[in-house]
Structure 1
Amino acid sequence: MENKEPLCQFKLMASRDALEVIQGKWRIPIIISLTYGKKRFGEIHRDIADISHKMLSQELKSLETNKIITRTLFDTKPLTVEYSLTPLGLSTTKLLDELLNWGIHFRNEVVGK
């Protein structure tokens, strides 16, 4: 009988890594907003109207630190900042599609029809 413990531990660690990057109320909506293309801060804020400016700024910094998004500065007056998904961020698309499908299923089964 083979020992499956190392594989289990590896998968548990990988799941924690993934959740650390996308956990919370706002990160997935920010990623989803950016799947529709490059956006400025105000455009993301309009997409996610109930997020505060401070929280949006914090979450964008976290996603940038984790290489999910990139922040590009343009030397304009006033200074323009644009956010976009990195290749790593774009790789979440399939995961988010599955998560959204499951969310629809959950809502139909548990929350009410």
Structure 2
Amino acid sequence: QNRSLECSSGCSCPTEAFNPVCGSDGVEFRSPCHAGCLTKVLDDNTSKILKYTDCGCIGVSGSYGYALPGTCGSDCKHLLLPFMVLSALTCFIASFSQTPSYMMILR
């Protein structure tokens, strides 16, 4: 994020704007402005934005990169089920220790 702040500091990007883009380098930016993108490529039929180009904050050694609309995604989706099972098991085991504690307090 600091890299984004440095290279787009002269762009006057609105701070409340949230239109995430995924850079060609795999880094996600808050908006095309924060990625330093200057132009956009539109679909001729639907006028939908296909990608943003000439992005100064994306790329290496002075070359411009591109960004695609939307988030970059996450590689952690496969961890949701084990997390849910482990959380449920932890709550279940914790409830066994809580019940005797409450019984002792009530007596």
| TM-score of the alignment, normalized to the shorter chain, above 0.5 | no
Give the alignment's TM-score, normalised by structure 1. 0.26
Give the helix-richer structure, 1 or 2: 1
Give the strand-richer structure, 1 or 2: 2
Give the alignment's TM-score, normalised by structure 2. 0.26
Structure with higher Rg: it is: 2
